């Protein structure tokens, strides 16, 4: 059974926090105790479950169906929450015009402590009203054998031979188990929470190119040198921490997934290298120890790299990408096709839970070397506006936030809150709420001990 209390999701039978999520919850609680000096609040806060992903607080609850007849409608530009059963699939509806391209990314979040194989994950597809499949994409745990938030994109692009015209389109989300088939085990598997963020892109105001630009043929840029700057990460797409060009450093514990975002304008290209520092203890080998994934502004997968780890310093280096251009959508290769619009590009880091058994609980240090080159230029002129309205826009404020890391200041407490994926206001409410609950419990106990008082 599921419930929702003041934006927090819980499920009967869960015994969270566990693993990396528990460590983040403990770190945040310790900081709040030190800052607020409220023992009652700390006792309550220590029992609060920490999720492995920070969902968008604006997310609306929706209930997907098994068929199309009563599938709930998703409105582009809004964020939705649901949960996916251990077997079967969920279906949602998008009502589209003939002129707009549509993107429906789905992030699935296994509960903390989930175990799985490399081929466990989700499959997302988009179909028209006649059942014609417009697109299909899968997202899997991969070689790290470590459960983590995975994101796959369903999309309908105008100008193609299939899935054209106005009408209802259906987004289908399925669980995958070992072997790549829909899960159908006898024992019910735990539900995975979902975040769905549909977006639309209007048609061009005037006819544009219909072929991919020439291959720039550029090799990977040399990784930036210099001393790294500390930059805490977010714990989800909505809380991703801004990064600009530079050398950045953070800590990551086994099982953690960290989110950053890099604003990339039309005509510019980005490249990132993730380096995992040498271990100070333990020995052995962990395959897929660190995974680096890049997603575009509509959370579509662009490229990624992972590394095996023996305790020595290693780096994960994705292939070079072309500059961001509208006509990249006509490229054959997935990575080139995905850099089709300006906006925030997301860097997602995951450290395999398997690292803990071989090299200890960490945290381990990761250095990100981010390059953003090329000359920015004006983007295409659209006939309408996208939803969300700013999804394909890079502003001067975005560039400043990337250079300085978003919200300035905060010291140790704010860094711990960022690492835990908890907003300042939420954390303060947690402390105050915990203090109130503790005080009421204390008063109840006192009354029970002295009923005539």
Tens of pLDDT, residues 27-79: 444 344 434 443 333 333 333 345 789 999 999 999 999 999 999 999 999 99
186 with 252, same domain: the answer is no
The Cβ of residue 71 has, within 10 Å, a number of other Cβ atoms equal to: 21
Q: Is the pLDDT of residue 212 over 80?
A: yes
The verdict on residue 165 lying in a domain is yes
CB burial readout 219-256, b (16+ within 10 A) else e:
eeeebbeeebeebbbbbbbbbbbbbbbbbbebbbbbbb
Confidence grade of residue 18 (pLDDT, cut at 50, 70, 90): very low
Check pLDDT > 50 for residue 375: yes
Q: Give a yes or no: residue 47 inside a domain.
A: no
175 shares its domain with 120: yes
> Would residue 188 count as lying in a domain?
yes
Q: How far is CA 372 from the centre of its chain?
A: 21
Check whether residue 195 and residue 235 sit in a common domain. Answer: no
In a domain? residue 384: no
Same domain, 180 and 251: no
Q: What is the pLDDT of residue 226?
A: 86
- Of 41 and 160, the structure prediction assigns the larger pLDDT to 160
* 237 and 357, same domain (yes or no): yes
| Residues 6+ away with beta carbon under 8 Å from 138 | 121, 122, 123, 124, 152, 176, 180
Looking at the DSSP bridge assignments, the partners of residue 163 are: none
The predicted structure's pLDDT at residue 224:
83
| Res 105: pLDDT | 98
Same domain (yes/no): 187, 254:
no
Confidence of residue 221 (pLDDT cuts 50, 70, 90): confident
Place of tokens 């009502």: 95
* Boundaries of domain holding 302: 229-375+392-403
33 falls within a domain: no
Q: Which residue has the higher pLDDT, 207 or 296?
A: 296
What would the pLDDT profile of 325-370 be if each residue is shown by its tens digit?
999 999 998 899 999 999 999 999 999 999 999 999 999 999 999 9
Please check whether residue 304 lies inside any domain of the structure. yes
pLDDT band at 87 (very low <50, low <70, confident <90, very high): confident
- What is the C-alpha separation between 241 and 452, in angstroms, rounded? 55
- State how many domains the chain has: 2
Check whether residue 150 and residue 245 sit in a common domain: no
Residue 365 and residue 238 share a domain: yes
Check residue 3 and give its pLDDT: 39
Q: Is 45 a domain residue?
A: no
Q: Are residues 169 and 247 in the same domain?
A: no
Are both 248 and 369 inside the same structural domain? yes
Q: Is residue 196 part of a domain?
A: yes
Mean pLDDT for the chain overall: 81
Residue of higher predicted confidence among 31 and 394? 394
Q: What is the CATH number of the domain that holds 305?
A: 2.60.120.380
Statement to judge: residues 188 and 304 lie in one domain: no
Residue 440 has what pLDDT?
Answer: 41
Check whether residue 82 and residue 184 sit in a common domain.
yes
């Amino acid at each position: 059974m599921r419930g929702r209390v003041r934006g927090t999701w819980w499920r009967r039978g869960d015994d969270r926090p566990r693993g990396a999520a528990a460590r983040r919850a403990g770190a945040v609680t310790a900081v709040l105790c030190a800052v607020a000096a409220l023992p009652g609040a700390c006792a309550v806060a220590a029992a609060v479950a920490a999720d492995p992903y920070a969902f968008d607080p604006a997310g609306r609850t929706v209930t997907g169906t098994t068929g199309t007849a009563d599938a709930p409608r998703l409105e582009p530009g809004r964020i939705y929450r649901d949960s996916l059963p251990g077997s079967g699939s969920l279906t949602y509806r998008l009502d589209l015009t003939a002129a707009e391209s549509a993107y429906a990314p789905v992030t699935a979040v296994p509960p903390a402590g989930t175990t799985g194989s490399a081929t466990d994950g989700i499959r997302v597809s988009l179909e028209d009203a006649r059942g014609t499949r417009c697109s299909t994409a899968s997202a899997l745990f991969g070689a790290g054998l470590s459960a983590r938030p995975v994101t796959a994109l369903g999309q309908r692009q105008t100008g193609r031979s299939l899935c054209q015209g106005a009408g209802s389109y259906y987004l289908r989300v399925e669980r995958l188990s070992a072997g790549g088939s829909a899960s159908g085990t006898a024992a019910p598997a735990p539900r995975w929470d979902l975040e769905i963020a549909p977006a639309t892109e209007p048609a061009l105001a005037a006819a544009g190119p219909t072929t991919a630009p020439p291959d720039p043929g550029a090799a990977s840029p040399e990784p930036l040198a210099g001393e790294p700057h500390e930059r805490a990460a977010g714990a989800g797409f909505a809380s991703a921490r801004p990064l600009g060009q530079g050398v950045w450093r953070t800590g990551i514990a086994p099982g953690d997934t960290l989110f950053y975002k890099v604003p990339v304008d039309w005509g510019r290209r980005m490249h990132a290298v993730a380096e995992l520092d040498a271990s100070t203890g333990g020995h052995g080998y962990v395959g897929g120890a660190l995974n680096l994934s890049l997603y575009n502004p509509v959370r579509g997968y662009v490229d990624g790299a992972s590394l095996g780890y023996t305790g020595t310093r290693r780096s994960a280096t994705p292939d070079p990408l072309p500059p961001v251009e509208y006509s990249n959508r006509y490229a054959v290769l997935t990575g080139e096709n995905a850099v089709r619009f300006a906006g925030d590009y997301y860097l997602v880091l995951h450290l395999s839970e398997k690292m803990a058994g071989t090299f200890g609980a960490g945290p381990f240090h990761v250095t990100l070397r981010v390059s953003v080159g090329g000359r920015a230029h004006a983007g295409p002129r659209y006939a309408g506006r996208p939803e969300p309205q700013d999804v394909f826009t890079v502003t001067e404020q975005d560039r400043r936030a990337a250079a300085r890391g978003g919200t300035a200041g905060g010291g140790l407490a704010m860094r711990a809150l960022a690492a835990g994926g908890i907003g300042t206001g939420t954390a303060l409410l947690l402390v105050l709420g915990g203090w109130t609950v503790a005080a009421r419990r204390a008063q109840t106990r006192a009354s029970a001990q002295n009923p005539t008082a």
